[in-house]
Amino acid sequence: MTGDDPYGAVVTWLRRPGGPGPLAGVRVGVKDLIAVAGAPRLCGAPGIADPSPQPRDAACVARLVAAGAALVATTATHQFAYGIVTPQTRNPRAPDRIAGGSSGGSAAALAAGLVDGALGTDTGGSVRIPAACCGVVGLKPTYGRIPVDGVQPLAPSLDTVGPLARDVATTARLFAVLLDAPVVPRLPSPLRVGVPAQLTDSRVDEDVRSVWHAVLDDLAAAGAVVATVDLPTLPRAPTANGRILAAEALAVHGDAYTADPAGFAADVGARLAAAHDLDPAAVDAARVTAARLGDELRAAFARVDVLVVPTLPCRVPPVGVDPIVVDGVEEAVVRAMTRGTNAWNLTGVPAGSVPAGHDGGGAPVGVQVVGAPDAEATVLGVMGLVERLRGGPQPPIADAGQSAGTPSTTAK
């Protein structure tokens, strides 16, 4: 780490000045899974990934550049995006807690004030989880709306590129550029908010439950109609998403793992090794689960505009602790932290995390707004309302560097 980045958020400093356009003056970090011309794309896996400079920008990066954004850094990822910790990165808002992953570097760089916006990827929660951990905003768009050309795949039927920022307004600006279409955040009147019945008695840390219920109360006080919706298949979604992800990740990385298992991080290697034993019938059943949950969501969104749920069921875990205790029960970190996010990858619907409070130790707590397919404008509108009702966006950490300074690794 350099003096400019005490959090291990940056992989390579970039010097790509911005220009005129809707993102003029916005400094952007790009997850080190996404191609940036002239910079290596190491995917959190130096020694495995090709270290050669990328010949061209990924399509999503090219859109940001064309809109005037300045590229200042590539940002750290959990190896090949197959994890939710980003162990090389510290959380600027809670240094004893994890930054989350796999887009942990993007979220940490935002919290530290090193960038104004960032790109991440989300296959099971990898934009929203670090956003919640680091007290920033993250949006997973509807599957397929943002091009993934130039992005290292993990599970192609689930992978999504998404923007992060410190506030909802900047997130919406980034999303509009990525979509290459106007996006005006929309707030229905009256707003109809759904709460899945299956989450009412689910295991959630009391600090998280308190913040979530406070958000629902604030929305009701602001005129929203809050109603329970029934999603019977929801409890099976995390397992189903995990099985599809594992099967597709093995197809992408299996040969490289077989050739050099020692080159993979222990947790990533263990997941790939376990995927070898996955029954194809279980993967087929997972896809049936996805279709059923999709049908249930369509029925729910005929009654409500959005769902509002916790991003994480747990407090942000301490560094190096696994398993953790969630509402009195021991649970593996990866299982706990993806319980609230996997379902929306499985069904491809848009979902965004917005800071909503803090736990008893001062670490951020986020809530998630989930919408119907292609309804990002409504998701962003409700996220903006939550942001206003809960005191506004969190500023960057005061002692973090505010510019790239003199980087130790630079790509032009």
Predicted local distance difference test score (pLDDT) of residue 190 = 96
Residue 353 a catalytic site member: no
Q: Which two tokens stand for residue 152?
A: 């290292």
Q: Which two tokens stand for residue 50?
A: 């090709």
- Among residues 31, 103, 106, 353, which one is catalytic? 31
Q: Label residues 324-351 b or e (16+ Cβ within 10 Å = b).
A: bebeeeebebbbbbbbbbbbbbbbbbbb
Contact 184, 399 (CB under 8 A): no
- Residue 180 scores a pLDDT above 80: yes
3-state class (DSSP) for residue 89: coil
224's CB contacts (< 8 A; 6+ apart) are: 190, 191, 192, 193
Using pLDDT thresholds of 50, 70 and 90, give the confidence band for residue 307.
Answer: very high
Using pLDDT thresholds of 50, 70 and 90, give the confidence band for residue 3.
Answer: very low
- Give the pLDDT mean for 398-410: 38
- Residue 70 scores a pLDDT above 90: yes
Predicted local distance difference test score (pLDDT) of residue 404 = 33
Residue 31 a catalytic site member: yes
The beta strands (E) that lie in 275-363 are given as: 306-310, 324-326, 329-331, 351-358
Using pLDDT thresholds of 50, 70 and 90, give the confidence band for residue 402.
Answer: very low
- Residue 204 scores a pLDDT above 90: yes
Q: Which two tokens stand for residue 64?
A: 């940001």
Using pLDDT thresholds of 50, 70 and 90, give the confidence band for residue 398.
Answer: confident
pLDDT tens per residue, range 353-368: 999 999 999 999 999 9
- Give the pLDDT mean for 237-256: 98
- Rounded to the nearest 5 degrees, what angle is found at the Cα of 306, between the Cα atoms of 303 and 312? 135
- Give the pLDDT mean for 52-57: 98
pLDDT tens per residue, range 290-301: 999 999 999 999
Predicted local distance difference test score (pLDDT) of residue 412 = 38
Measure the CA–CA gap between 278 and 343, rounded to whole angstroms. Answer: 20
Over the chain, what is the mean pLDDT?
Answer: 95
Place of tokens 């707030």: 187
Domains in the chain (CATH in brackets) are 10-239+267-411 (3.90.1300.10)
Predicted local distance difference test score (pLDDT) of residue 409 = 35
Q: What percent of the chain has pLDDT over 90?
A: 95
pLDDT tens per residue, range 259-271: 999 999 999 999 9
- Give the pLDDT mean for 370-379: 98
Q: Is the peptide bond before 102 cis (omega within 30 degrees of 0)?
A: yes
- Give the pLDDT mean for 302-316: 98
- Among residues 102, 103, 106, 353, which one is catalytic? 102
Residue 126 a catalytic site member: yes
- Among residues 103, 106, 126, 353, which one is catalytic? 126
Predicted local distance difference test score (pLDDT) of residue 408 = 29
